[in-house]
Amino acid sequence: MAVIFKDLHTESGLKSLDAHLDGKSYISGDEITKDDIKVYSAVLEKPAETFSNASRWYQSVSQQLASSFPGQAVGVRFSQGEAAAAPAVEEKKEAPAGDEDDDDLDLFGDETEEEKKAAEEREAAKKASGKKKESGKSSILLDVKPWDDETDMKKLEEAVRSVQMEGLTWGASKLVPVGYGIKKMTIMMTIVDDLVSVDQLIEDHLTAEPANEYIQSCDIVAFNKI
């Protein structure tokens, strides 16, 4: 929706601008844009301090223009004090007959191809950044069970830890008696959710050759998002 400021040389127009700038540094947010230049060119002089937001904004835009375009701020209207500080500034050319009045400023005119391309690139960067943030981690506790009481538990642990892949980190482990002289191994692991599937890890690595020489089965005891 277009935002229009009318009669910026009048008290009512400045009041509207001042209200719009409440809580904002510039017309469209926290950075100066072409919208600020358009509105600035329509304000004949620095607003009175009673319009504190507009006065602060006007001073900020004036300083940025003076530092960025010394003597070359074509189309920008300065107050008398500012004109003395920047004598090389050219006066804004008068609009041809039939053009819209400067007091009615449409801040959302047609974008150039360069602006559209830049906006698309920014949107793509935001989406890519969002995807990266969505990639979380999980902490998992596994029960690893041997075939019988004669299974070498040290070899069993070595078989488990020999499974290495991107996004997988093995943690602490311990042996827990389950009865009849048989012990199982509980082991912690941390995974990156987008890189490691626990089901595939168990099916394709821990209970497949050569690890299945020692491992009978694996069960997920706890699964927590980090």
Q: Is the pLDDT of residue 23 over 60?
A: yes
Q: Quick count: other Cβ atoms within 10 Å of Cβ 202?
A: 19
Q: What is the pLDDT of residue 39?
A: 84
Task: Classify strands 182-192 and 215-225 as parallel, antiparallel or unpaired.
Answer: unpaired
CATH architecture of residue range(s) 4-109:
Up-down Bundle (1.20)
pTM for the full predicted model = 0.42
Q: What is the pLDDT of residue 201?
A: 94
DSSP 15: H
Q: What is the pLDDT of residue 134?
A: 54
Q: Does this chain's domain 4-109 share its CATH topology with 137-225?
A: no
Q: Whole-angstrom Cα distance, residue 176 to residue 185? A: 6
**Residue whose C-alpha is closest to residue 160's, from 199, 139, 186, 178:** 186
Q: Whole-angstrom Cα distance, residue 61 to residue 24? A: 13
Q: Whole-angstrom Cα distance, residue 2 to residue 27? A: 13
Give whole-number Cα distances, 165 to 86, 111, 161, in Å: 64, 48, 11
User: Per-domain residue ranges for the chain?
Assistant: 4-109, 137-225
Both tokens of 71, joined, read 């003597």
Q: What is the pLDDT of residue 30?
A: 82
Q: Whole-angstrom Cα distance, residue 103 to residue 7? A: 5
pLDDT digits (tens, 9 = 90+) for 81-112: 443 344 333 444 444 554 445 545 555 555 67
pLDDT digits (tens, 9 = 90+) for 116-150: 778 888 788 777 665 555 569 999 999 999 999 99
* CATH fold of 137-225: Alpha-Beta Plaits (3.30.70)
Give me the mean pLDDT over the 177-200 stretch.
Answer: 92
Q: What is the pLDDT of residue 154?
A: 95
Q: Is the pLDDT of residue 79 over 80?
A: no
Give percent above pLDDT 70 in the chain: 75
Contacts with 171 (C-beta within 8 Å, 6 or more apart), sequence order = 187, 188, 189, 190
Give me the torsion for CA of 165, 171, 177, 182, rounded to 10°. Answer: 20
Q: Is the pLDDT of residue 166 over 50?
A: yes
Give me the mean pLDDT over the 169-192 stretch.
Answer: 93
